[in-house]
Amino acid sequence: MKDGDIFYSPNCACEVDVPQPLPFGGNPLYPELQRNGRHNLWDLDVSMYKQPAWWTIQFGWLAFFQTSDAQLKFRLFSALDSALTHHCLAGESGYELPPRDMNRWHCIDTQLSRASRLLLDHYGLYAMLPFEPWQFGYLRSHPRHGSLMVCLEKARRWFHVCTARLSYLVAAAETREAQSNRYPSDARLHWIDLLLSSGIDAGIDKRWVDLLMDTTIVLYTPEVERAGIFLHLTDEHSLRPTVAWYALYGVPVWYSWGSKEAALHRLKVYAPLPHQLQNATTFFTRSPAEVASVPCHTKSAESTEAASRKTPCTKKMDKFFETRVLRNARKVASETPEDRKARLNRVPPRVSAPMYLWEENDDGEYDRVLVPRRERDEMFDEYSKEQMRYDSIQNEWNICSLWGQPLPDFDDTTGADFYPGDDRESHDIPHPSFEVTAHALEDENPIVHSLSGDDSTIPERFETAVLRDLFLYFGYTPLIPLPSATVPMKESLRKNLCRSLGILWNDVVDYPFLFERPAVAAAFDFLIHLADKESVLSDDEWDLCRANHSLILLSPRFKCFRRVFSTDAHPETLYMLDLKEQRLAPWYLALKHARDVAVVCRLPPEKDEYDIVEFLLQNGIPFHTLAVSNTLARSPISLNRTPNPPLRPAKYVFDGRDYLIYREQCSQLLKHPRGRAALMHGRHPWRLSVSVVPWELVYNGPTGWSSDPREMIVVTDHSSGMELIDDRLTEAEDRVLCGTYHCSTGELFYCFESH
C-alpha cells in the first residue's frame, strides 16, 4: 500500500517500491544528457532494469529482464565470461580484445540482434532498443587497459538487456502463433522455423537453436526471476498484454486496486481475495509506533546494490576441500611405492592436468569451473603463485583469487567516457565468422588398465592385473598347486580375454609369452570354462561354490547387505550396505546389481564406505548413496531445464558442429550439483562425467529432496521403517547424455499418446 492505494500482485509475494511514471518523452534506455550535449553510454546502469516499471508500449518488454546473472552462464554465452579474464593485446593503437574473442562476442551480438529483428518484423511487434552491445566499444582499441575492462563489463551487462528483449519477443511470437494456429501446441515450432529459414546469414541454425533452448531466455517458470511490470487496469490499450499473459510467462505483475477498479465488472476477476484486502487495510490503520516496528523488505536498487557487495561465502568451497583432504589421505594410504615415487617426481603439468577455477556466483558462493585445455597456459599469466594450487595426488590445479595477492595489473583508470558514434560505423564492422566453441567436456584422464612402464616388469604387472581382476569381478581363487592349463593360442581369443578384464591389447600384443605363464594360463582357463555353461568348475577355484574356502556368503560384509525397494510404480530392487555402529558416512551405500554385491564383498575388509565408493567410481559401477529423507533440505533448483531431444529434418547430414553442441549440452547439464547422479549411474553417463563432476559431490551425499519425483529415488527400508532418498538421473537427462535426436523421415504420420 502506498499513499492509501493498494497495489496487488496475483503471482508475486515480493514487496517492491512503486515506480514513478516515465516522463513524457523519457527513455530509460538512454543515459542522461551531459553538459556537452552528448550521451555517455558508460553512464547506463543496467541494474535499474531489475526494478519493475509502469507499462509503456515502447518499453513494456523490460518486464522480462532477468534479475540474476545466471542467464549468461549458459554455453551460448561462454565467450562473454572467458574474455574478461584474458590478457588483451596491447598494440600501437592501445588495448583490445584478441581477434578470436572479439569475433565470438560479435557473433553472439549479431545472432541476438538478427533473431530479435526477425521476430519483430514477422509478427509486427514493437520493442525499442536503441543500442546493441557492440556500440559500447568492444570492437575497437582503447588507450588504457582499465578503459577496455570497463567497456567489456558494460557491453556484457547490455547483453542482459538484449536477452530480455528476445525473451519477450519469443513469448509474444508464441502467443501470436497460438491465436492464429489451428494447433496451439505447435506455436513454438513456427517461430523456430522462422529463425532457421531466415537466420542463416547470422549463424542461426539448428545447433544455435539447440543452445538457445537450453537457456533461461525461453524458460518461463517462477524459478527464473524477472523484473516484472506495473499495470493500470483501467487504461485500456489494444497492444498491452493482459495480467493473465504476464502470469502465464512467469513475469511478476502488479496493479492498483481501489474503488475505481472494483466498480468495473470486467475487472472483477483481478480483485484481491477478501483476506488480502483485510490484511492490507488493517496494516494501514495501525498506529505509527506499530508501523515503525514492521521491518522493511522492499527490494530497492540500493538494497540490490548492497547485496551485490556482500562478503564472499566460501562454505561450499571449504566443504569441498575438507572432503578432498580425507579422499587424498585414503588414496595415499593405498599407493604402491612405484606410484608414490612417480607422483613425487612429477613436474606439475601446465596444460595436460585438469584445471579448475573457483568463481563467485550470484549468491556469493564459489563454484568450481573446469578451465578448457586451450586456456590453461594463460592462467599462469593471469594469477599469482599463491592463487594457484597444484594437487599432486589428484594431478590437478585449483585456482581462486581469494588465496593470495593478484599479479600486478595494468593501468586501471576507469574514468573514460564513451559516446554513440565513437565506435566504428556499422558498415565498418567486420562480418563475424561463425564457429561453435570447442567443448569444455574433455576426457582428461581416461580410466583404463594400462601396463605402460618399465618393460622388465610387464610380466609381473600383467599377471597381477589378471589375477586381481579375475578375483574381484569373477570370484577366481587359484588352485594350489596350479594345474596344467591349455595356453590360449588364437590372437582373437587373447584379445577377447584381455577385453573382458579391461586390459589394453596394445600393451601386451608384443609380449605373446605373457599368456604362457602358468598362473596366467590357469586363470584364463578358468575364465573360458566359466563362460561355457556346459563346463564344471572346481569348488576350490570359485568363491560362489559352497565348498570354497573363501565362500563369499561367509564374508562379514555380505551379512551387512539387505534388500530394499523403491516406491516407484515398478519398484527397483537395491542392495543396501548397513555397517551399523561401524558406519562412518551420513548415508547408506546401495548397489543396483547383485553381482556388484559380490565385488564389494571381495574388497579388503578394512575399507570403509568412502573407500568402497572410490573404488566404484574408478570402475563405473552403478550405485546410490541413500540418506534419510527428513535430514535433507530442498535440492538446488536447476534453471538448466532438460530439453526434448533436438529435431533434425529429413536427410539431415550430421557434422562435427553437431557433436560439439552435444558436448556443450552435456557439460551444461553436469555443472549442476545433481550431476553427481550421472557419476553414480554407470555406463555412458559415467564415462562423460567421471572427469568433469567432482567426486566430492558423491562423498557429500544427496543434494536433497526434489518436488519432481523423477529426479530422486525414494526407498523404504521395512526393517527400520526409514524413508531414504538419493539423486537419480531422469530419462530426459539420460537421453541428452546419450545424444538422442528426433530425425524426420519426410513421411507424414500420426502419433496418439494416451495419458
Q: What pLDDT, in 10s, does the model give residues 29-38? A: 888 777 776 7
Beta strands in 618-697 (DSSP E): 623-628, 647-648
- Position 443 scores a pLDDT of 47
pLDDT at residue 535 greater than cutoff 90: no
Average pLDDT over residues 346-351: 92
Q: Rounded to the nearest 10 degrees, what angle do helices 518-531 and 458-474 cross at?
A: 30
Residue 117: how many other CB atoms lie within 10 Å: 14
- Position 541 scores a pLDDT of 92
Least trusted range by pLDDT, from 78-87, 102-111, 332-341, 697-706: 78-87
Which of 70, 105, 60, 44 lies closest to 217, judged by CA?
70
Mean pLDDT value across the chain: 83
123 burial via Cβ count (<10 Å: 0-12, 13-18, 19+): middle
Which of 89, 104, 82 lies closest to 374, judged by CA?
82
Least trusted range by pLDDT, from 113-122, 201-210, 392-401, 579-588: 201-210
Phi, psi for 559 (deg, rounded to 5): -70, -15
Yes or no: say if 191 and 119 are a contact pair by the CB < 8 Å rule.
yes
Least trusted range by pLDDT, from 295-304, 511-520, 584-593: 295-304
Average pLDDT over residues 321-344: 89
DSSP letter at 434 equals P
Most confident of 356-365, 418-427, 529-538: 529-538
Q: Is the pTM of this model over 0.75?
A: no
Confidence bin at 630 (pLDDT 50/70/90): very high
486 burial via Cβ count (<10 Å: 0-12, 13-18, 19+): exposed
Average pLDDT over residues 54-63: 92
DSSP 452-475: -S-GGGHHHHHHHHHHHHHHHHH-
Average pLDDT over residues 205-221: 87
* Beta-bridge partners for 564: 574
For the stretch 654-676, pLDDT in tens is: 888 888 888 888 888 888 889 99
- Position 422 scores a pLDDT of 54
Average pLDDT over residues 457-470: 90
Distance, in Å, from the CA atom of 418 to the CA atom of 621, rounded to the nearest integer, reads 58
Least trusted range by pLDDT, from 145-149, 316-320, 341-345, 744-748: 744-748
Least trusted range by pLDDT, from 521-530, 591-600, 665-674, 707-716: 665-674
